[in-house]
Structure 1
Amino acid sequence: MSKTVSRRNALQLSLGAAAISLLAACGAKDQVGADGKKTVEIKVGYIADYNGAGLMAVADQQGYWAKAGLSPKYVPFTNGPLAIQALGTNNVDVAYIGSGALWLPASGKAEIWAVNSVSNADRIIAQPGIKSLADLKGKKIGIPAGTSGDQLFTLALEKEGLTRGDFQITSMDPPTIVAAFASGQIDSAALWYPLIDSAKKGKPDLVELFSNADFIDQLTFPSTFVAGPGRAAKDKELATGFISVVKSANDYRHANQDATVAVTAKFLKLKEEDMKAQAGVAKLFTSAELDELSAKGAIYTWLTGLQEQFKAAEKIKEVVDPKTFYNAELYVSTATV
């Protein structure tokens, strides 16, 4: 692995440390709910979009947390690497991440507790008039390092026979990318919906050069819920409680997508029409389908494929057995609440 890449990955993991340190770092605490029953606090990291917050919103509305004996405390993040860093400092117990951050569980920084969905939200976007990635040679591209957007950019480079050295790449956080793209400070970006909707407000004629769908035959892009490495073994009751909530919320979402859009919009204090657009960029599964995909090894295949891509991009040193960071048996054996 090159020193440049190592420094980039180290920088990504350190971003936002000052903000994260302001959160209260503490273990799970017993609480008493409104019905007088004891519950355990669980700190849940989420990303403020439909895929990153939908199951949390449903779990709140449907009372699944209380049924599982849990009381959630929500902590927002802008990307997966920051959320995983917070796991390492005990500022959250479990967090949502996109597929681009799965190199961190593969590196031993986290373990997967549940799959959320398969994404088609990522895009390589460019200013109007740009027709190909080659047109961007020597131009400025904003990329949130270590994310699914970064992952898609690597795939696009491989497909076009280009390298990162062909461009002026700047590592930026997602909100900054939106502002820089809209103002014309950068020529292209590796980003995802719904942030691209925000970019379109400033540049309605922006061009989408690549999406996840362009590589669906090569890779599957799952978003997941992760915890610190070894956490399920140390605190199985918390793990199974969380998984039971996620499974219940997942099945509700699958059967009631319009209602989930509405409750997620309310949870995030956003417009329902924005949530509807976001809901269209993910493939959803029932929990029974995820049980089967887990039991038959399909999810392990997804994770192995991603690791091979991460290794080629020099984000990980070697491909490891995905069973080291995803316990399919734990997921399958956990029932809904």
Structure 2
Amino acid sequence: MSINVSRRNVLQLSMGAAAISLLSACGAKSEDAGPGDAAKETIEIKVGYIADYNGAALMAVADQEGYWAAAGLKPKYLPFTNGPLAIQALGTNNVDVVYIGSGALWLPASGKAEIWAVNSVSNADRIIAQPGIKTLADLKGKKVAVPTGTSGDQLFSLALAKEGLSRDDFEVTAMEPPAIVAAFASNQIDGAALWYPLIDSAKKGQPDLVELYTNEDFIDTLTFPSTFVAAPGRAAKDKDLATGFISVVKSANDYRHDNQDSTIALTAKFLKLKDEDMAAQASVAKLFTSKELETLSSEGTVETWLNGLQEQFKKDEKITEITDPKKFYNSELFVNAPAV
């Protein structure tokens, strides 16, 4: 497989390396003993998440419902601000599996990670602009902030192609998502490629901001799945850990699908945010039962989603060739893992 990551993407992946290196590697196992019982061994799993509904709901549910313990796992959680940084952390051995949005799937396609499970399909991304700007063309020559290698970056590329524009038509600045929120609220930038719930934060500074594009504008040709990924080859080396994690995800996923209100409350508590904030975020996620995800995986639909995204990544020069999704998504592993 040929891999070609642009200088722009390499620079983005290098961001935060110093911060990541400060995370200390954790022991692989911990022991719990009950009164009068022999020590019971559980496996510690280090899980990376993003602090929003899509990125944290299943973790919150698994904690509440005891799914981790049922699978013989003990989680340690690490927060990340975006998928590329989370995948970079996989290479440090400080995290075992991480959540990423669809925009970071060029990294598994490039051989940087493998998909263990599909989480949901997102409609959270937007191209936003300051009040008074009505079209993407109105932003020509103006400052537009983009978090490189993310789903927001992906949506920006799609919007440019649709309107026959290029990045050279704008003053594009690579920024981290939290910095984009602050810059937008203070009028330091004119537009941005971002996602909910960060857009809700931007609205506090600019309540009349304009949404120029959304994922739904391209839903006829592309699907935007969020996933859980691990380092390449990790499942083959540690199948029990992978199967256990997927089992937890399946159980938590079905709880979320059937109990949306309580999942919103649990996620808000997990993230120390308000229920109403979680409810707004939940509204931009398309959920499936685990059985539906098994069918979508075994019948090749998920592979179709991944191929469609790869075509876009190739146009954006994030990858040089389209890879068989089977090389980075083992659908049989997901389908065969039982719920806890």
Per the TM alignment, residue 25 of structure 1 is displaced from its structure 2 partner at its CA by 2.4
Select between 31-40 and 247-256 the one with higher mean Cα deviation: 31-40
Q: CA deviation at 1:33?
A: 6.2
Deviations 1:181-224 (A, max 9, x none): 00000000000000000000000000000000000011000000
Give the letter aligned to residue 8 of structure 1. Answer: R
Cα shift at 1:29: 2.2
Partner of 2:71: 68
Deviations 1:249-270 (A, max 9, x none): 0000000000000000000000
Residue 27 and residue 165 in structure 1: after superposition, are their counterparts in 2 closer, same or farther (change >3 A)?
Answer: farther
1:163 corresponds to which residue?
166
Instruction: Judge conservation of contact 1:43–1:91 (CA < 8 Å) in 2.
Output: yes
Say whether the 8 Å CA contact 1:33–1:39 is kept in structure 2. no
Q: Deviation digits for residues 124-158 of structure 1, max 9, x if unmatched?
A: 00000101010000000000000000000000000
Change (3 A) 1:329 1:33: farther
Contact 1:27 1:90 in 2 (8 A): no
Aligned to 1:88: 91
SS at match of 1:108: coil
Q: Which residue does the alignment assign to 2:152?
A: 149
The answer on 1:25 being equivalent to 2:25 is yes
Q: Distance in 2 between matches of 1:311 and 1:31?
A: 47
Of the three residues 120, 124, 149, the one matched with 1:117 is: 120
Counterparts of 2:207 and 2:63, CA distance in 1: 36
Contact map agreement 1:96 1:225 (CA 8 A) in 2: yes
Distance 1:17 1:204 in 2: 34
Q: Which runs of 5+ in 2 are unaligned?
A: none
CA positional deviation for 1:30:
3.5
Q: How big is the shift at 1:91?
A: 1.1
Residue from 304, 308, 311 that aligns with 2:307: 304
Which of 221, 226, 229 is equivalent to 2:229? 226
TM-score under structure 1 length normalisation: 0.97
User: Is the CA contact 2:145–2:192 (under 8 Å) kept in the aligned structure 1?
Assistant: yes
**1:152 partner SS:** helix
Q: Distance in 2 between matches of 1:38 and 1:218?
A: 47
TM-score scaled to structure 2, two decimals? 0.97
Summarize deviations over 1:159-186 as a string: whole Å, max 9, x none: 0000000000000000000000000000
* SS of 1:75 mapped into structure 2: strand
What does residue range 1-337 of structure 1 map to in structure 2 within 5 Å? 6-26=6-26, 28-32=28-32, 37-337=40-340
Aligned residues: 334
**Distance in 2 (alpha carbons) for counterparts of 1:284 and 1:187:** 33
Identical positions, percent: 79
Please give the secondary structure, in 1, of the residue aligned with 2:6.
Answer: helix
Distance in 2, matches of 1:263 and 1:82, equals 26
Runs of 5+ consecutive residues of structure 1 not aligned to the other structure = none
CA distance in 1, matches of 2:145, 2:91: 27
Contact 1:31–1:41 (CA under 8 A) maintained in structure 2? no
* Greater mean alpha carbon deviation, residues 63-72 or residues 23-32: 23-32
**Cα distance in 1, alignment partners of residues 23 and 92 from structure 2:** 10
Q: Which amino acid in structure 1 is aligned with residue 103 of structure 2?
A: G
Is the contact made by 1:97 and 1:224 (CA closer than 8 Å) also made in structure 2?
yes
